[in-house]
Structure 1
Amino acid sequence: MGRRLTSLPEAARELGIHESTVRRWIKAGLLPADRIGPGRRYRIARHDLDRLRKSVRNGGPMDR
Structure 2
Amino acid sequence: MSNAASRIIEQLQAQNDLRMQAANDIAHAVAARVNAENALTEAKANEKAAFANALKKGWT
TM-score by length of 1: 0.27
Structure (1 or 2) with the greater strand fraction: 1
Structure (1 or 2) with the greater helix fraction: 2
TM-score by length of 2: 0.29
Higher-Rg member (1/2) = 2
